[in-house]
Amino acid sequence: MEEGRKRVVVVGGGVAGSLTSKLLENAADVTLVDPKDYFEVPYAALRCLVEPAFSERSVMTHSSYLKKAKVVISTAKIASSTQIITDDGEIVPYDFLVICTGSSYTGPKTRPERIQEYWKANSKVVAARSILIMGGGPVGVEMAGEMVTDFPDKKVTIVTASSRLLTFLGSKASDKCLKWFKSKKVDVIFNDKVNPDSKSGSTYTTNAGMKIEADIHFWCIGKRLGNTWIEESDFFEYVRDGEGHLKVDANLRLLNMSNVFAAGDITDIQEIKQGYLAGKHAGVVAENIKKLIKDPTSTKLTCYEPMVKAMGIVNLGRKTAVAQLPFGTFLGCLPAMLKGKDLFVGGVRKQLGLPK
């Protein structure tokens, strides 16, 4: 701790929290609180299932990219307007708090354990002849894309409760994606659900009574927001009813709070929840905290501009992707060149000051 420096506590070491910590560590005494000792590029998680060695670059310890910030490996349990308390009872006081708990976390605590987990999952994928994917959103679709690309002989089935794939994008993207899956002999079942507990032998039964043969399944439906700890905190009133996001102003501060910010999926910003936007939030939050450190009464804080039109690139394995961009919707190898090969891992590593 350097005397006189402001204390910034960042809760959550995902996309928004890791970058916020990195951007602020030279300007303040930063403490990152995360239940695991690593940050993982989430976009690469599905590639790691088919190519576990990929995780060597996509999973990085917080200490590898944070040179000055302190890392507390624990879960934030409760927060007041001056400090947070972790699950282990550690009290971490702050001048500025940044809440980046876009999803809750229950996985392994250390990087080697996480990488090992990918190798184990991969051996199950390799051994399976048939794979059931529950969910037709970006995660389910990318998962199926990776599976059929690297293991074209395996039977892949997707079951989705929606009437089309990728509902966060327009129907053009859904149609192109479905056509590609059909060409790869992937079965896609719409408007139905499967309960994993319905499995008997290697047969799953959907709610509509359809039987699906699969050796393994992957659950790709939604993520739980990491907001339960906030509900027990002084910030309870900021948690929106229903979806449970945090209400932020244009400067990404909790409404009417001068020193508490939020970034990433936890915010109530009206735009799709995406990692590249979480990174933009991190940039705005870091800029504003730097301004407030210099001048606590500053009225020239940076405003965040939400992305009003949904854009996205969804990978279908290594060489194909479907992209919805401002000038059109495409499927093919060109959009895949933007994301497919490296899944943005090199770019994220560079942002964090690590070799690509």
Ligand X SMILES: Cc1cc2nc3c(=O)[nH]c(=O)nc-3n(C[C@H](O)[C@H](O)[C@H](O)COP(=O)(O)OP(=O)(O)OC[C@H]3O[C@@H](n4cnc5c(N)ncnc54)[C@H](O)[C@@H]3O)c2cc1C
Q: Where are the beta strands (DSSP E) in 41-141?
A: 59-61, 70-73, 76-79, 83-86, 91-93, 96-99, 130-134
Please identify the residue of the shown chain whose CB is closest to the bound ligand X.
Answer: 14
Instruction: Confirm or reject binding of residue 351 to ligand X (CB under 6 A).
Output: no
Total count of residues recorded for the chain: 356
From 10, 15, 158, 239, residue interacting with ligand X (rule: CB under 6 A): 15
Cβ 325 to ligand X shortest distance, Å:
13
Interface map 214-233 toward ligand X (x if CB under 6 A)? ------------x--x----
For 89, 138, 253, the CA distances from 83, given in Å and listed in that order, are 12, 37, 17
Instruction: Confirm or reject binding of residue 46 to ligand X (CB under 6 A).
Output: yes
Nearest residue to 16 via CA among 315, 202, 265, 215:
265
Q: Which is nearer to ligand X, 11 or 336 (CB)?
A: 11
Instruction: Confirm or reject binding of residue 276 to ligand X (CB under 6 A).
Output: yes
How far is Cα 216 from Cα 31, in angstroms, rounded to an integer? 40
Interface map 24-43 toward ligand X (x if CB under 6 A)? ---------xxxx-----xx
Instruction: Confirm or reject binding of residue 340 to ligand X (CB under 6 A).
Output: no
| Beta-ladder partners of 200 | 203
Cβ 337 to ligand X shortest distance, Å:
14
- Locate 353 and state its tokens: 């000051």
How far is Cα 196 from Cα 216, in angstroms, rounded to an integer? 10
Among 98-106, 178-186, 209-217, 234-242, the segment contacting ligand X (CB under 6 A): 98-106
Instruction: Confirm or reject binding of residue 273 to ligand X (CB under 6 A).
Output: yes
Sites for ligand X among residues 47-86 (CB under 6 A):
75-76
| Beta-ladder partners of 194 | 206
Q: Which residues contact 17 (CB under 8 A, 6 or more apart)?
A: 10, 11, 32, 34, 39, 98, 100, 101, 263, 264, 282
CB 312 within 8 A of CB 168: yes
CB 189 within 8 A of CB 159: yes
Instruction: Confirm or reject binding of residue 140 to ligand X (CB under 6 A).
Output: no
How far is Cα 252 from Cα 246, in angstroms, rounded to an integer? 10
Q: Which is nearer to ligand X, 151 or 276 (CB)?
A: 276
Among 15-23, 162-170, 186-194, 234-242, the segment contacting ligand X (CB under 6 A): 15-23
CB 14 within 8 A of CB 263: no
Instruction: Confirm or reject binding of residue 324 to ligand X (CB under 6 A).
Output: no
Instruction: Confirm or reject binding of residue 148 to ligand X (CB under 6 A).
Output: no
From 14, 140, 145, 340, residue interacting with ligand X (rule: CB under 6 A): 14
Cβ 4 to ligand X shortest distance, Å:
27
Cβ 213 to ligand X shortest distance, Å:
25
Cβ 343 to ligand X shortest distance, Å:
7
Instruction: Confirm or reject binding of residue 100 to ligand X (CB under 6 A).
Output: yes
CB 143 within 8 A of CB 221: no
Q: Which is nearer to ligand X, 25 or 265 (CB)?
A: 265
Residues that bind ligand X (CB under 6 A): 11-17, 33-36, 42-43, 45-46, 75-76, 100-105, 139, 226, 229, 264-266, 273-276, 278
